[in-house]
Amino acid sequence: PVKFNLGTEENIRRYGQSVPPEYDLSVINSTNIALIYAANDWLNDIRDINLLKKTLKVKLLDDYLVPDTTWNHMELMWARDVGKYVNTKILEILHKCD
């Protein structure tokens, strides 16, 4: 994953190079990370999620793929069953942190 692409001129001004640099995700050391994602997400492709999981060097609090394969990015917040599939999972994760 790379930092936000601001265009060549702004990239040079902000980052000192024409293209945005990559984030070094391997230096993340927080153990308070949980992933909740959908298989049909058009913003967070499942291949990117898998790459993130391989790159992180810490144990995740949770790694949860919503079981409904039709869900996409918007369903994670707005679906009729968000309480069943997402909110209950969030509460479960929060209880692990007690």
Q: Rounded mean pLDDT of 3-30?
A: 93
Do 20 and 47 share a structural domain?
no
Domain range enclosing 54: 31-96
DSSP E strand stretches across 5-83: 34-37, 62-65
Do 72 and 36 share a structural domain?
yes
Do 36 and 78 share a structural domain?
yes
Q: Rounded mean pLDDT of 6-17?
A: 96
pLDDT of residue 60: 95
Report the helix count and the strand count for the chain, using DSSP H and E: 5, 2
pLDDT of residue 2: 80
Backbone angles phi, psi at 59, to 5 degrees: -75, 135
Do 38 and 79 share a structural domain?
yes
Do 70 and 90 share a structural domain?
yes
Do 80 and 38 share a structural domain?
yes
Q: For residue range 25-80, list pLDDT tens digits in order.
A: 889 999 899 999 999 999 999 999 999 999 999 999 999 999 999 999 999 999 99
Question: Residue 97: which pLDDT band, with cuts at 50, 70 and 90?
Answer: confident
